[in-house]
Amino acid sequence: MAQPSTSLLPGTLDMLILKALSLGERHGYGVLLRLQQMTGGAMTFEQGAVYPALYRLKRKRLVVTRWGTSENNRRARYYSLSVAGRRQLRDETHSWNRLVGIMADALSRQPGEV
């Protein structure tokens, strides 16, 4: 039986991209591949969502870019985290983990426990 598609909550793509870039510099398509690897293929990411998110993160100065040559000898823009991006990832990760803990606690409640 096929697994249902897992969709991202609003705002989580940026956090996942920051995490992907915390693991090392990547060009745009490499970021997309890393996201798929990080989720074990359980989530799919569209270029039409990833590239605008990268530009948005660049405008916010959470990522920095440089031009380089890709593995197939093409000119590519490479992305890496800025200092502000590392701080943002740390803060968002803390908030996310707190939210997950609260949700898990709330969802595990049984009748009469509230």
For residue 66, give the 3-state DSSP assignment: strand
Give the chain's domains with CATH numbers.
12-107 (1.10.10.10)
Q: Can you read off the two tokens belonging to residue 30?
A: 């490499």
d(CA 1, CA 109): 30
Burial of 70 from C-beta contacts in 10 A (0-12 / 13-18 / 19+): middle
pLDDT band at 68 (very low <50, low <70, confident <90, very high): very high
Q: How many residues can be counted in the chain?
A: 114
- Look at residue 1 in the predicted model and tell me its pLDDT: 40
Give the pTM.
Answer: 0.86
Residue 80 has pLDDT above 50, yes or no: yes
**Angle between helix 83-107 and 12-22 (nearest 10):** 120
How many C-beta atoms lie closer than 10 Å to residue 69's C-beta? 11
pLDDT at 6: 61
Q: Which two tokens stand for residue 15?
A: 């956090």
The arithmetic mean of pLDDT across residues 51-56, rounded, is 95
According to the model, what pLDDT value does residue 18 have? Answer: 98
- Model pLDDT for residues 13-44, shown as the tens digit of each residue: 999 999 999 999 999 999 999 999 999 988 88
The predicted pLDDT at position 4 comes to 45
